[in-house]
């Protein structure tokens, strides 16, 4: 049985009536706590490395809540969406329906609902003067060589200067002064908004929402056109308009139930050094000049909770993986309807290695699927295509398919000299001879067709199975105690002793 099917009930279609078990972070944490999935750390821990070390040790097993982080009164939470099954649970669908549900929500956005300020939890406490982020918020320093504290779980929300339509992304933010931060904006929507503002000599107003529910976090990672508002995708995932409120010092709308909101402006023509910072491929990115946010306000709930994401751990990797998988699956299925499912493997940092489950009808098709995947996203570096009897979510099954259905001289596809991930250190990134920007990130692509031939002699590819292995009634057959066996052993011991 596919392990994903076991996680929920019903077919993907029947459980699609959008419903969320996690309308706010607090609802979700309560649910995790009631089911033994929260580790409460009530001892003081240092914000420098110690907090991240504990959260990393428990990542993927339990969310962590630190009640006394670095002498602050505000608790820190981490790792509350570090398992696929938990994310599916938050969405209210079986794990097997996760990608389809996400794709459906991205295609059917729900407009948000604006609340008056007095109803918005995130503005219960408002501070616009004398802001010192280090004193106000428990912001951890994560990895060994990081350049100090970083906000890693902030939804950066901005308005398109031309249309006013909002955008949401997560960006790493270095807090290097009481009210100034440096931000990494790769060339996507936020950077496009900023460049438009900067060209007109203006700052770009932003808000950074920290401590939001898992579905709004996930929606922030949707791969969509520039004028799709990710908060509307969050509404679709929740099955209800997302409540928002206007910021105190600008016109950006933020989720009204956010625990904490930092308001500010990305300054035109200002750059300050940022990094190094330990990134998702589990290597550091270099110190470089980056854009700067000047903080204009900090608002929060009474007794807020601060969220930090441990870089390169499961919460970080899955947040990127699920929307990417949904997009890749749709892309592959457009040309190849036989594609059934995909997974971006954890070992490939949920970005570089794609596993594809495919119902092959004609020889050669798996190689077309491989080439299609290379074209879908420059990050994809290795593709493995397997048959429909192979569980694409089980690394041992993938390796078994490669071990027994793949021959390197026939089934390997290599494309030399393509573009790869700029964060993959094995590309030409940073090599002295290739230091010019247009020479960076050159990478080979590798595809493995691990499907069996369509026609094969009887028994050659017949998978060993034991009749009844999935259906035997263990409850009836297995005794509740080992007393009978112990008695049998004991009589044997007496004989041995003679």
Ligand X SMILES: Cc1cc2nc3c(=O)[nH]c(=O)nc-3n(C[C@H](O)[C@H](O)[C@H](O)COP(=O)(O)O)c2cc1C
| Alpha carbon distance 203, 192 (integer Å) | 13
Distance CA 254, CA 156 (A): 9
| Residue from 108, 188, 271, 334 binding ligand X (CB under 6 A) | 188
Min separation Cβ 389 and ligand X, Å: 33
Q: How far is Cα 207 from Cα 253, in angstroms, rounded to an integer?
A: 8
Q: Which is nearer to ligand X, 150 or 358 (CB)?
A: 150
Write each residue from 192 to 231 as x if it is in contact with ligand X (CB under 6 A), else as -, in one continuous string: -----------------------------x----------
Q: Which of 62, 78, 141, 171 binds ligand X (CB under 6 A)?
A: 171
Q: How near is the Cβ of 238 to ligand X at its closest, in Å?
A: 18
Question: Contacting Mn ion (CB under 5 A), which of 167, 250, 327, 451?
Answer: 167
CA distances to 68, 205, 229, 466, 473 from 478, rounded to whole Å, are 47, 64, 55, 19, 9
| Residue among 167 and 299 whose Cβ is closer to ligand X | 167
- Residue 428 CB neighbours (<10 A): 16
Q: Give min distance, CB of 172 to ligand X, in A.
A: 4
Residue closer to ligand X, measured from CB, 316 or 452: 316
CA 268 vs CA 72, 200, 263, 296: distances in Å:
33, 9, 16, 15
Among 96, 122, 190, 376, binds ligand X (CB under 6 A): 190
Tell me the C-alpha distance between 39 and 54, whole Å. Answer: 10
Collapsing DSSP to helix, strand or coil, 145 comes out as: coil
Cis amide leading into 302 (omega within 30): no
Closer by beta carbon to ligand X, 221 or else 382: 221
Indicate the angle between helix axes 314-335 and 98-107, nearest 10 degrees: 80
Crossing angle (nearest 10°) for helices 98-107 and 230-238? 120
Place of tokens 């939001």: 212
Closest C-alpha to 270, from 369, 344, 203: 203
**β-strand 288-300 against 125-127: which pairing, if any?**
antiparallel
Question: Binding of ligand X at residue 285 (CB under 6 A)?
Answer: no
Binds ligand X (CB under 6 A): choice among 56, 83, 189, 331: 189
Nearest to 267 by CA among 350, 328, 341, 185: 185
Query: For the chain, how many residues are written?
Result: 498
Query: What's the min distance (Å) between Cβ of 164 and ligand X?
Result: 15
From CA 361, how far away is CA 366, in angstroms rounded? Answer: 9
Which residues ranging from 427 to 466 are in contact with ligand X (CB under 6 A)? Answer: none
Which of 56, 159, 189, 445 forms a contact with Mn ion (CB under 5 A)? 189
Instruction: Look up residue 6 and give its two tokens.
Output: 């076991």
Number of residues that bind ligand X (CB under 6 A): 17
Q: Taking CB positions, which residue lies at the least distance from Mn ion? A: 189
Q: At closest approach, how far in Å is the CB of 155 from ligand X?
A: 9
| Nearest distance, CB of residue 316 and ligand X, angstroms | 4
CA dist 143 to 135, 185, 319, 348, 441, Å? Answer: 21, 20, 19, 20, 24
Q: Answer yes or no whether residue 185 interacts with ligand X by CB under 6 A.
A: yes
CB of 125 to ligand X, least distance (A): 26
| Residue 186, contacted partner among Mn ion, ligand X, none, CB below 5-8 A by kind | ligand X
Query: Smallest gap, in angstroms, from Cβ of residue 230 to ligand X?
Result: 6
With CB under 5 A as the contact rule, which of the stretches 64-72, 187-195, 332-340, 397-405 interacts with Mn ion?
187-195
Query: Does 169 help bind ligand X (rule: CB under 6 A)?
Result: yes
* Least distance in angstroms from the C-beta of 167 to Mn ion: 4
Contact partners, residue 54, CB within 8 Å, separation at least 6: 41, 45, 64, 66
DSSP 454: S
CB 216 within 8 A of CB 234: yes
- Say whether residue 309 binds ligand X (CB under 6 A): yes
Picked from Mn ion, ligand X, none, the partner binding residue 78 (CB below 5 to 8 A depending on kind) is none
H or E element in which residue 101 lies: helix 98-107
- Dihedral sign from CA coordinates of 47, 210, 57, 383: negative
Q: Is 186 in the site for ligand X (CB under 6 A)?
A: yes
When CB distances are held under 5 to 8 angstroms depending on the partner's kind, the choice from Mn ion, ligand X, none that residue 309 binds is ligand X
316 lies in the binding site for ligand X (CB under 6 A):
yes
For residue 470, the minimal CB distance to ligand X (Å) is 37
Q: Give me the least distance between CB of 359 and ligand X, in Å please.
A: 30
Burial string for 113-150 (b: 16+ CB within 10 Å, else e) reads eebeeeebbbbeeeeeeebebbebbbbbbbbeebbebb
Examine residue 159 and tell whether it contacts Mn ion (CB under 5 A).
no
- Of 87, 184, 392, 450, the residue at the interface with ligand X (CB under 6 A) is 184
160 binds ligand X (CB under 6 A): no
Q: Decide: is 160 part of the binding site for Mn ion (CB under 5 A).
A: no
Residues that bind ligand X (CB under 6 A): 152, 167, 169-172, 184-186, 188-190, 221, 309, 316, 319-320
Residues that bind Mn ion (CB under 5 A): 167, 189
């Amino acid at each position: 049985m596919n392990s994903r099917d076991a996680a929920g009930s019903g077919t993907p279609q029947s459980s699609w009536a959008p419903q969320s078990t996690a309308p706010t972070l607090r609802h979700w944490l309560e649910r995790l706590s009631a089911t033994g999935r929260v580790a409460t750390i009530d001892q003081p821990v240092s914000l420098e490395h110690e907090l991240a070390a504990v959260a990393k040790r428990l990542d993927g097993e339990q969310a962590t809540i630190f009640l006394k982080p670095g002498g602050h009164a505000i608790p820190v939470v981490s790792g509350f969406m570090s398992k696929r099954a938990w994310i599916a649970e938050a969405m209210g669908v079986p794990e097997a329906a996760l990608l389809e549900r996400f794709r459906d929500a991205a295609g059917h956005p729900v407009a948000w609902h604006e609340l008056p300020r007095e109803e918005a939890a995130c503005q219960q406490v408002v501070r616009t003067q004398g802001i010192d982020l280090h004193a106000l918020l428990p912001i951890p320093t994560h990895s060994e060589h990081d350049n100090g504290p970083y906000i890693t779980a902030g939804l950066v929300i901005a308005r398109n200067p031309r249309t006013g339509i909002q955008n949401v992304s997560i960006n790493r933010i270095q807090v290097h002064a009481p009210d100034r931060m440096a931000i990494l904006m790769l060339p996507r929507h936020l950077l496009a908004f900023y460049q438009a503002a900067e060209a007109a000599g203006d700052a770009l107003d932003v808000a950074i929402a920290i401590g939001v529910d898992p579905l709004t976090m996930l929606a922030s990672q949707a791969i969509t056109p520039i004028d799709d508002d990710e908060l509307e995708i969050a509404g679709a995932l929740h099955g209800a308009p997302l409540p928002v409120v206007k910021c105190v010092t600008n016109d950006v709308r933020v989720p009204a139930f956010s625990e904490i909101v930092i308001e500010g402006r990305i300054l035109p023509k200002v750059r300050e050094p940022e990094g190094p910072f330990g990134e998702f491929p589990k290597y550091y990115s270099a110190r470089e000049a980056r854009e700067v946010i000047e903080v204009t306000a900090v608002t929060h709930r009474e007794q807020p909770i601060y969220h930090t994401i441990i870089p390169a751990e499961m919460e970080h990797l899955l947040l990127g993986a699920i929307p990417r998988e949904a997009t890749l699956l749709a892309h592959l299925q457009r040309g190849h309807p036989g594609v059934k499912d995909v997974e971006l493997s954890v070992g490939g940092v949920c970005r570089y290695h794609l596993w594809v489950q495919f119902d092959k009808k004609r020889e050669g098709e798996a190689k077309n699927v491989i080439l299609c995947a290379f074209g879908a996203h420059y990050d994809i570096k290795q593709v493995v295509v397997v048959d429909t009897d192979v569980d694409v979510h089980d690394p041992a099954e993938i390796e078994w398919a490669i071990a027994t259905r793949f021959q390197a001289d026939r089934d390997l596809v290599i494309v030399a000299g393509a573009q790869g991930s700029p964060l993959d250190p094995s590309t030409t990134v940073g090599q002295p001879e290739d230091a010019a920007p247009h020479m960076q990130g050159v990478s080979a692509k590798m595809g493995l067709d691990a499907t069996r031939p369509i026609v094969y002699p009887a028994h050659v590819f017949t998978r060993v199975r034991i009749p009844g292995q999935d259906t035997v009634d263990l409850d009836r057959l297995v005794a509740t105690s080992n007393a009978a066996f112990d008695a049998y052993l004991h009589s044997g011991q007496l004989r041995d002793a003679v």
